[in-house]
Structure 1
Amino acid sequence: MKFSFKRLLTIGAVVLLSVGALAGCGGTGLSSGTSSTTKTEKKKPNKLTVGVSISTLSNPAFIVLKNKIEDYAKKNGTKVQITDAQNDTAKQNNDVEDFIQKKVDAIIVNPCDSSAIAPEVKSANKAGIPVVCVDRSSDGGKVLTTVASDSVKGGKMAAQYLTKLVGKNAKIAEITGIPGASATRERGKGFDTEAKGNLKIVTKQTAGFDRAKALTVAENIIQAHPEIKAIFAQNDEMAVGAAKAVSGSSNKKIKVVGFDGAEAYLKMIKNGQGQATIAQRWDLMGTLSLDAIYDHYQGKKVQKSIKSPIKLTTKANVK
Structure 2
Amino acid sequence: MSKIRNYLAAAAVSAASLCGASAGHAADLIGLSVATLANPFFQGMTKGVQSGIAAHPDLKLINTSANGDANTQTNQVTDLINQHVAALILNPINANSIVPVVKEANKKGIPVFTLDRGAACGGCQVNFLETDNKALGKEGADFIADQLKQRYGSVKGNVVDLEGLLGTTAGDDRERGFATEFEALQKDNPGLKLVARQAADFDADKAFNITTQLLAAHNDIDAVFNGNDDNAVGVVRAIRQANRFKPIGDPKHIVVIGIDGTEQALSSIRRGQMDATLSQNPVTMAQQSVNYVEAYLHGDKSKIPAHQFWPHLLITKATIDSAAAKSYGLWGDEISH
CA RMSD after TM alignment: 1.7
SS at match of 1:122: helix
| 1:300 corresponds to 2:301 | yes
| Structure 1 residues 182-221: aligned runs within 5 Å | 182-196=169-183, 197=186, 198=189, 199-221=192-214
The reply on whether 1:127 has 2:114 as its aligned counterpart is: no
The aligned residue for residue 53 of structure 1 is 33
Contact 2:270 2:317 in 1 (8 A): yes
Letter in 1 for 2:243: S
CA–CA distance in 1 between the matches of 2:301 and 2:101?
25
CA distance in 1, matches of 2:21, 2:66: 29
Give the alignment of 1:18-97 within 5 angstroms: 47-77=27-57, 78-97=59-78
Output the CA distance in 1 between the equivalents of 2:182 and 2:156. 9
Which consecutive segments of 4 or more residues in structure 1 shift more than 6 A? none
Is the Cα–Cα contact under 8 Å of residues 163 and 201 in structure 2 kept in the other structure? Answer: yes
Question: Which residue is equivalent to 2:3?
Answer: none
Match of 2:120 in 1: 139
- Pairs within 5 Å for 1:104-115: 104-115=85-96
Do the aligned partners of 2:51 and 2:287 also contact (CA within 8 Å) in 1? Answer: no
In the TM superposition, 1:7-26 aligns within 5 A as none
Pairs aligned (count): 279
Residue 18 (structure 1) aligns with: none
Q: Please, which moves more after superposition, 91-100 or 225-234?
A: 225-234
5+ residue gaps, structure 2, are 1-19, 150-154, 246-252, 322-337
Q: Does 1:159 align with 2:141?
A: yes
Look up the SS of the partner of 1:76 in the other structure: coil
Equivalence for 1:245: 238
The structure whose RCO (Cα within 8 Å, separation 6+) is larger is 2
Deviation string 1:91-127 (CA, Å, 9 cap, x unpaired) is 0111111111001011111111111111111111111
> Post-superposition shift, 1:200?
2.1
TM-superposition CA deviations, 1:257-277 (whole Å, max 9, x none): 001111111110111110001
Q: Work out whether residues 109 and 131 of structure 1, in 8 Å CA contact, stay in contact via their aligned partners in 2.
A: yes
Note the C-alpha offset of 1:234.
0.5
Q: Residue 131 of structure 2 corresponds to which residue in structure 1?
A: 149
TM-score normalised by L of structure 2: 0.79
| Structure 1 stretches lacking a partner, 5+ long | 1-41
Q: Which moved more, 1:94-103 or 1:68-77?
A: 68-77
- Within a 5 Å distance, the mapping from 1:223-234 to structure 2 comes to 223-234=216-227
SS at match of 1:228: coil
Q: CA separation in 2, counterparts of 1:311 and 1:230?
A: 20
Secondary structure of 1:227's aligned partner: coil
In structure 2, distance between residues paired with 1:94 and 1:186: 27
Q: How far apart are the structure 2 equivalents of 1:120 and 1:227?
A: 48
